[in-house]
Amino acid sequence: MGGLWLSLFAALLAAAALAGPSLAGRFPVAVWYLTGYPVTALRVVWTWRKAATLNDLAVAPRPARGLIGELIVKGEALRPVAPRISWPRPTRTGLTVTVRLHPGQTPEPYLAAAEALMHAWRVHAVRVSSPERGLVRLAATAGDPLKQPHLATAPKALLSALVGILEDGSAWVLNLRQVPHWLIVGATQSGKSTLLARLVTQLARQKVALIGIDCKGGIELGLFDGRLSALTTCRKEAVAVLGALVGELHDRMETCRTYAVRSVWDLPDDVRPVPIVVLVDELAELYLSDGTRAGKAEAEACSTYLLRIAQLGAALGLHLVVAGQRVGSDLGPGVTALRAQLSGRVCHRVNDGGTAEMALGDLNKDAITVAQAITTDEKGVAVCAGADGAWAWARSHHTSVLEARKTAMAHAHLTPELRPVRKALAEVES
């Protein structure tokens, strides 16, 4: 049986050599299955015992004959017993290995040994998970799928946006029906604005209302003004629009009570109101006041309205996507309360640990260290976490300003009119 496996691997390697390296760019998955997987699988099996021993994953054998007290009177050293592993199973971007733990072992030592295994197997990364008690799954990624992100296919659905690629090569989709509110953080030139632009280009094609809150004078979201049902460029306008949206929430509650349903998605198609997505660029501009009484009142109003929308919006078709360079508790207690309602998190490269802690700390502590390791050269790379607390590397598909604006203008005819919002904004401008 062993000879058969060796013959099969030799045949695959010979075929790969004849195919040539030019196929790697055109058919990366096929080339991986043909050449990369056989070599890596053999390396995993060959190095497993030594890697397990060096990283304290192996255990001492059960004492047998020749035992006097705690001494072994035998002429040869005891050989630690490495945990049993399955044969490496190939995936599109790497392979997986299932480890059966020894009695008394836990997955924590495997988390600590992940980097050592990555070097031993000569792969890009090794992720550790425990699918069931007594088992640990080691998922090795052969290369960096985020280095050259491409558009993966994803099912088209309302409020679902294909924004990039995940570390396993699958599509990175922000589905607002599943995770209704998102917090996106990132320093300047980290890819935060690119992700927002990509999100707008995806939602612009759908029958949804987009509202932009950009208190930096509208220099970011103002590029998509043609597809926005409303755009605020200062905090005073933001207070008026957010207040109108809270009023819209109460109207939708009345409609749901009238039809005896718990969500707008249970309403008849001809009655269901249009979904609304509120895009907030630079959250700190809404919370920081200038010290005046009016400024403090506006900041408190913004905090109250945003929290109200986040608490009630999911069932009523009103969603928040909040972005900021720095998001910390020093902005006020309202930020922490709002963070608790934003179950979707995206953390790009940040300038301080507090922002990474605010974005990922309450979901997964391990993800904080990973997010802080993102370098300035990895633009668009982020740590994405959902409501279940699981995190993954991700990279948004590059969307230029020209492309995003062109898409927004091409779908301007889909922009729904929100009369209460327009009225509130007009009253402030007058």
DSSP state of 189: T
Beta-carbon contacts of 324 under 8 Å, excluding residues fewer than 6 positions away, are: 184, 185, 282, 283, 284, 355
Tell me: the pLDDT tens digits for 263-272?
999 999 899 9
Annotated binding site for ATP: 186-193
- With vertex at residue 409, the alpha carbon angle to CA 150 and CA 281, rounded to the nearest 5 degrees, is 70
- Provide the β-strand partners of residue 276: 209, 318
- The CATH number of 2-60+79-141 is which of 2.70.98, 3.30.980, 3.40.462, 1.10.10? 3.30.980
pLDDT in the model for residue 11: 61
- Average pLDDT on 56-62 reads 77
154-168, 190-204, 271-285, 334-348: range with lowest mean pLDDT:
154-168
Task: Looking at the structure, give the CATH architecture of the domain made up of residues 160-429.
Answer: 3-Layer(aba) Sandwich (3.40)
d(CA 115, CA 124): 10
Annotated binding site: 186-193
- Average pLDDT on 209-225 reads 89
pLDDT in the model for residue 78: 63
Are 174 and 344 in contact, with CB atoms under 8 Å apart? yes
Question: Does the model's pTM come out above 0.75?
Answer: yes
30-34, 144-148, 375-379, 406-410: range with lowest mean pLDDT:
144-148
User: Which pairing describes strands 209-214 and 276-281: parallel, antiparallel, or unpaired?
Assistant: parallel
- Which residue from 309, 300, 342, 319 is spatially nearest to 211, judged by alpha carbons? 319
d(CA 48, CA 44): 6
Helices (H), 20-153: 23-26, 28-31, 37-54, 108-112, 114-121
Residue bearing tokens 């109108």:
244
d(CA 366, CA 372): 11
User: Which pairing describes strands 344-347 and 182-185: parallel, antiparallel, or unpaired?
Assistant: parallel
pLDDT in the model for residue 21: 52
Residue 193 has phi, psi (to 5 degrees) of -65, -35
Count CA atoms closer than 13 A to 142's CA, side-chain side: 24
Residue 125 has phi, psi (to 5 degrees) of -160, 155
d(CA 399, CA 37): 33
Residue 146 has pLDDT above 70, yes or no: no
Are 336 and 329 in contact, with CB atoms under 8 Å apart? yes
Are 131 and 79 in contact, with CB atoms under 8 Å apart? no
- With vertex at residue 371, the alpha carbon angle to CA 365 and CA 376, rounded to the nearest 5 degrees, is 165
Q: What percent of the chain has pLDDT over 90?
A: 33
In the chain, residues under CATH classification 3.30.980 are 2-60+79-141
- Which residue from 318, 79, 298 is spatially nearest to 176, judged by alpha carbons? 318
Cα Rg, the chain, nearest whole Å: 27
Residue 190 has pLDDT above 90, yes or no: no
d(CA 33, CA 8): 13
- Binned at pLDDT 50, 70 and 90, residue 5 comes out as low
Beta-carbon contacts of 11 under 8 Å, excluding residues fewer than 6 positions away, are: none
- Average pLDDT on 277-289 reads 88
- Average pLDDT on 243-267 reads 94
